[in-house]
Copies of this chain bind each other. A is one copy, B any other.
């Protein structure tokens, strides 16, 4: 009898929360205005605005990459560059969409545990500005919260970056495709995070935290709003039957379902991280602060792990594996992780 593998591959392997599917089903009334003029979009936008406790422009969009590119197109000028880390999604995992669609240069700084540090930022600014008009004019800092390796900027770290950006005249874009997990990790609100970072424009996730497929782009700086509605269409983010995307956000924000789901994912990641810490042959690559876990295993273990657990080897040369817990990771899944590792440990003489 073949036993079903458990899945720690990614939070985008997970299905949608039943309330989200219910919301889609209920949005299936006969007629509704297209392109975001429907009542579901109105309600979703209003709920998101309430979550951020201030005036802002909210656009419901199709994908995280879509939100990033649409957002960066809005906030960068043709002569400017955007700064991010060397492992930023926009740099490394969006197949050149930034350069192709925004048309600016992306400057990268080495990440420190996934983060941009003020020192590296200052160094990069100095370098890019050294030759004046012969190089670009840095215009935007794009940070990912939580980072691509699951670490979380503290509010103080965000404030320090925001202060520096203000001094250096940089706008701030935040890639918050898992912002919910950061908020839970910091035990704070979504609002506090964007306030600390003085975010001008935010890519807000959804899909990775239990939606079926919906993301949002939020403009906090009103100076950036001009033309944004045209750009939503131009950047391929204007969906005709938008209600089926927007409806998903309604249960998600109505009873802080986003918090429940993100808390669950983070909690399960902590439990798995504890197991890993308890096994001498394994070592965590980074502190586990949200729902992502990177760890090094003995080379011989890797196929054995993959036999039982759907997951991605991350840095093959370092024998690094990535686990991502999800809103629907179960206690049973965690227990199985423990038994799988114990079993391997028992049977293997590590190399």
Query: Is A10 at the interface (CB under 8 A from chain B)?
Result: yes
Q: A233: which of B62, B106, B133 is its contact (CB, 8 Å)?
A: B133
CB–CB A137/B227 < 8 A: yes
Contact between chains at A135 and B239 (CB < 8 Å)? no
Q: How far is the CA of A93 from the CA of B240 in the complex (A)?
A: 13
Beta-carbon contact of A234 and B63 below 8 Å: no
Asked if A222 is at the interface (CB within 8 A of a chain B CB), the reply is no
Knowing A15-B28, A73-B78, A94-B134 touch, does A100 contact B241 (C-beta < 8 A)?
Answer: no
Give Cα distance in the complex from A25 to B16, angstroms: 10
The reply to whether the CB of A237 lies closer than 8 angstroms to some CB of chain B is: yes
Which B residues are CB-close (under 8 A) to A328? 30
A100 to chain B, nearest CB (A): 5
Enumerate A23-73 residues with CB–CB distance to B below 8 Å.
Answer: 24-25, 27-35, 62-66, 69, 73
Query: Counting chain B CB atoms within 10 Å of each CB, which of A208, A233, A244 scores highest?
Result: A233
Contact count band on A:
35 or more
Residue numbers in B under 8 Å from A73 (CB-CB): 78
Q: Are A133 and B238 closer than 8 Å at their CB atoms?
A: yes
Within 8 Å CB of A92, what residues of B?
131, 135
Q: Does A257 contact B (CB under 8 A)?
A: no
Interface residues, chain A, with chain B CB atoms under 8 Å away: 7, 9-10, 12-16, 18, 21, 24-25, 27-35, 62-66, 69, 73, 77-81, 92-101, 103-106, 130-137, 207-208, 212-213, 227-241, 244-245, 310, 316, 328
Q: Please give 14 more A-B residue pairs, beta carbons under 8 A apart, in addition to A31-B310, A101-B101.
A: A77-B227, A78-B231, A79-B227, A79-B234, A95-B135, A95-B231, A96-B230, A97-B233, A98-B105, A101-B235, A133-B230, A135-B230, A207-B240, A212-B244
